[in-house]
Structure 1
Amino acid sequence: MLGKQLQKDVIVVGGGPAGMMLGLLLAKVGVQVIVLESHDNFDREYRGEVLQPRFVQLLDQLQLRTYIEQLPHSKLKKGAFYHYDKKKGNFDFASMIAGVPYALWIPQPILLQALYAKAKEYPTFDMLFHAPVKKLIEKDGTVTGVVVEQENKELLEIQAKITVGADGRFSTIRRLGGFELEYEYYPGDLIWFSVKRPPHWGEELQFKITEGHSYITLPKYPDLLQVGVALPRGEWKETQRQGIETFRKEIMHTNKEFYDFAESLVNFKPFVPLQAKNHMVKTWAKNGCLLIGDAAHCSSPVGAIGVSLAVTTAVVAADVIWDALQKHDVSAKVLGRVQEIRSEEIEEIHQIQKRMGKLFFTSSKFIKGIRPYILSAAFKTPLFSMIQKKLFVMKNPVAINPEFVFNK
């Protein structure tokens, strides 16, 4: 049953970091914007909690850095690559960019709640939780809004000049709008779990390779380590089929800090799989509709830069959308300016992630055997430093309209 109707300038579907940032920026300049979130709240687990220096650079430009860094967080200042317990190389963020010598670890619910609180300061901002989109409304080849199902099962029609899909890698707007992928690369899965952080660990991000699998370990606010096991595509199902014992033994012998966790395992419930998938949508915009973030350009967990890239696209989109509204032109040509600005950098990073994925998600015994030597050699070349900077640091500042910059 169709309930009441709403009229807005912009609908943002998805209340993740990209969607919330876009909603905040548009509300700041007086756009009537509504953010639709299918979940009941912001609770997320193992979802994009590392904010690389490039993200902090963007916050600096928006003058939001102080506001965000007041939130509960940890700082990651350096990283290292290991073959079992032997260090093969290391890096620190201070050597990449002096002004931002760290990455931030902020639990995503805390970050989203902070953006929400800031957005609610503006009277033109609105948000609905438990509001999954069921249908796109189209008229004469232009998307003019959505139909959502509310918690009481009543349908709500929301009309808008522009509808933005910021609803993640499994985007409903991408599916309903018939957007096609340019490419997709899926080498494997990261299987996440958390353990208590030992006092001596410090603020180091660790990548570890073994004769079995690769591991990534990050300090997680407030007192945990988040660990990801890199499994080649299809291996997670086979691992589960074999039972917990084999997987438990591997984890137990990979790092002494994981021993107690592994010893307590009786099933696979403590693990959360995440597809290490890249994809790029062929065309991000249609008349009245735009995709941003993972809906348009999903990045794999390699390098932990997905949130940073998505939010940068949201900032660019805010400027393009505001300009489109001023000109009363919401055509695919105008909205497609977002893709023109953002796609080159993202495609370059996807290629880096693809090459790294071949190394870390391999099932080849030969490649597993030579990985330690590849890493040792890579750290001795300028190429490795260049790749790090491409991943973690924003080369050129984003062109931001002064209207979107907050007062300190």
Structure 2
Amino acid sequence: MSQVLSTRCCIAGGGPAGMMLGLLLARAGVDVLVLEKHADFLRDFRGDTVHPSTLQVMHELGLLEKFLARPHEEVRELRAIVGDTELVLANFKHAHTRCRFIAMMPQWEFLDFLRDEAELFPGFHLMQNAEVTGILQHGDVVNGVQVLTPDGPLQVTADLVIGADGRHSAVRGAAGLVVRDLGAPIDVLWMRLPKMPGDPSITGGRISPGAFLVMIDRRTYWQCAYVIPKGGIDAVRARGLEAFRAELVKAAPLLANRMDALASWDDIKLLSVTVDRLERWYRPGLLCIGDAAHAMSPVGGVGINLAIQDAVAAANILAAALADTQLDAAALTPLLARVEKRRLFPARVIQAVQVAVQNRLLGPVLAARDVNTPMVVPWPLKLLGRSSWLQALPAYAVGVGVRPEHVRLPVAKKAS
């Protein structure tokens, strides 16, 4: 027989959206339980970019200095090498935020930090090794989740369930929420390559006919993303590992002396890119946020930061009602609609831009047949590369985004 637990708000998923929302709700005096299917956060995440919008949230929480004491690197410009021409595409020095840089921090450090801060409040609870497999419902109202743990099945009843369990969300699937696929013509291969003395300190893309490679400076290594056509992994593997290494070296000749770091295909991770969005983000008793509501392309690296913005908006709108334990799911439902209404516009705008970049830039680059033809720099990029003020526009789009959220919550008493 399943064990039963009860909480005011149950969050499925201990990623950035789930952990941030857990911290914000507990900070506002709400009893909240976060369920995370893994035993810890020590996994090889690829989304390690903490953008100025998220750093601004940390500042508003009074946690910025403490947060930046964790290991990180600071990226103040995003660059691109188009053919043989190097350009600055985004410069954060004009950003109207507390921090004018992107913090490159391993995501396990980020999540550990959120957990440590959340545990200072008595209402916060985190259960790991707890995989949400389905929902509980009474009539049309979701009132909990089904959980699988090493000790057996568990039922968690809650007045509100938050689906923050990612693009393959079990919560949204079990709830029957309709997903609209926006399409993605690309997949991405991720890998780490050593950084050598004399390497430039540049974070950005390298674009040439038939190839698009992103190199992120992680101080001791390069975090690399190589874009391939959608479903093209079998063709890449069929050409062989040596051929793939040669493709990387052609895209970035400075990598030639470190290809032995890619000893096998196990050193190369596939990210199957999906861009989708729920037709409706909620049901009575249930709200989805982050990738569970809108899976993002890796273009711009904005997915994590958009998820954080969802969490801040949800906390701003829901915290007072959740703190009032007399309010039931019916009273909360109009507030769930408000969260969706507030966050739908940013998600739609950003996804539209990502799809446009995928279709109009990445697709044609990958489809180029004559890979020996020199790459011509488009005139808008030439203009962008010459003006730091113009570079502030893409910096704002990537670093701050559409409708940034600000913390507007009271603070409950911390645990003694």
TM-score, normalising length from structure 1?
0.91
Aligned residue in 2 for 1:373: 376
Please say if residues 145 and 157 of structure 1, whose CA atoms lie closer than 8 Å, have aligned partners that are also in contact: yes
**Alignment partners' CA distance in 2, 1:342 and 1:370:** 43
* Counterparts of 1:366 and 1:246, CA distance in 2: 17
Structure 1 match to 2:124 = 125
Match of 2:353 in 1: 352
Equivalent positions of 1:43-192 (< 5 A) are: 43-97=42-96, 99-152=98-151, 154-192=152-190
Report what 2:27 is aligned to. 28
Is 1:321–2:318 an aligned residue pair?
A: yes
Residue 71 of structure 1 aligns to a residue whose secondary structure is coil
Post-superposition offset of 1:322: 1.7
Alignment match, 1:306: 303
For residues 12 and 84 of structure 1, the distance between their equivalents in structure 2, rounded to whole angstroms, comes to: 46
Partner Cα distance (2:260, 2:58) in 1: 42
What secondary structure is seen at the aligned counterpart in 2 of 1:217?
strand
One-letter amino acid of the structure 2 residue matched with residue 114 of structure 1:
F
Cα distance in 1 for partners of 2:92, 2:310 equals 23
Counterpart amino acid of residue 400 in structure 1: V
Residues 28 and 404 in structure 1, CA contact (< 8 A), matched pair in contact too: yes
- Answer with 187-196 or 79-88: which moved more: 79-88
List runs of 5+ in structure 2 lacking aligned partners. none
Report if aligned partners of 2:206, 2:214 keep a CA contact under 8 Å in 1. Answer: yes
For the residue of structure 1 that corresponds to 2:376, the secondary structure is: helix
Question: Alpha carbon RMSD of aligned pairs, Å?
Answer: 2.5
**Deviation at residue 169 of structure 1 after TM alignment:** 0.9
Aligned to 2:407: 400
Task: Pick the aligned partner of 1:219 from 191, 211, 217.
Answer: 217
* Count of matched residue pairs: 404
1:320–1:259 distance in 2 versus 1, CA, 3 Å: same
Question: What amino acid maps onto 2:405 in structure 1?
Answer: V
- Contact 1:209–1:215 at 8 Å: present in 2 too? yes
Deviations 1:273-307 (A, max 9, x none): 11232211110010000001110011111101111
Do structure 1's residue 234 and structure 2's residue 222 form an aligned pair?
no
**2:383 matched to 1:386?**
no
Letter in 2 for 1:318: A
Quick check: 1:31–1:124 contact (8 Å CA) kept in 2? yes
CA distance 1:142–1:395, change in 2 (3 Å) = closer
CA deviations on 1:312-349 (whole Å, 9 max, x unpaired) are 10111112222332371534332121111111112111
1:191 shift after superposition: 0.6
Distance 1:279 1:163 in 2: 21
2-side partners of 1:313 and 1:370: how far apart? 44
When residues 185 and 165 of structure 1 are mapped into structure 2, their CA distance, relative to the original with a 3 A threshold, is: same
* Secondary structure of the corresponding residue to residue 156 of structure 1: strand
Secondary structure at the residue paired with 1:155? strand
CA drift of 1:42 comes to 0.6
Whole-angstrom CA distance in 2 between matches of 1:96 and 1:9: 38
- Separation in structure 1 between the aligned mates of residue 374 and residue 38 of structure 2, nearest angstrom: 41
Amino acid at match of 1:373: V
The verdict on how the C-alpha distance between 1:255 and 1:355 changes in structure 2, with shifts beyond 3 A counting, is: same
Contact 2:59 2:98 in 1 (8 A): no
After superposition, what is the alpha-carbon deviation per residue over 1:244-276, rounded to whole angstroms, capped at 9, x for unaligned? 121121113322332233245443111011123
Instruction: Tell whether the 8 Å contact from 1:18 to 1:293 is kept in structure 2 after alignment.
Output: yes
* Percent of pairs with identical residues: 26
Q: Say whether the 8 Å CA contact 2:121–2:413 is kept in structure 1.
A: no
Contact in 2 for aligned 1:76/1:203 (Cα 8 Å): no
Is 1:283 aligned to 2:280, yes or no?
yes
Please, which of 350, 361, 364 is the counterpart of residue 367 of structure 2?
364
- Structure 1's 252 and 345: CA in aligned 2 closer, same or farther, altered over 3 A? same
- 1:98 Cα deviation (Å)? 6.5
- 2:191 is aligned, of 169, 193, 202, to 193
Equivalent position SS for 1:42: coil
Deviations 1:9-60 (A, max 9, x none): 0000000111001111111122111100011111221331011122212222
Which amino acid is 1:180 matched to?
V
Is the alpha carbon distance of 1:146 and 1:68 closer, same or farther for their aligned partners in structure 2, counting shifts above 3 Å?
same
The change in CA–CA distance for 1:135 and 1:61 in structure 2 (over 3 A counts) is same
How far residue 148 of structure 1 moved from its aligned partner, in angstroms, is 0.7
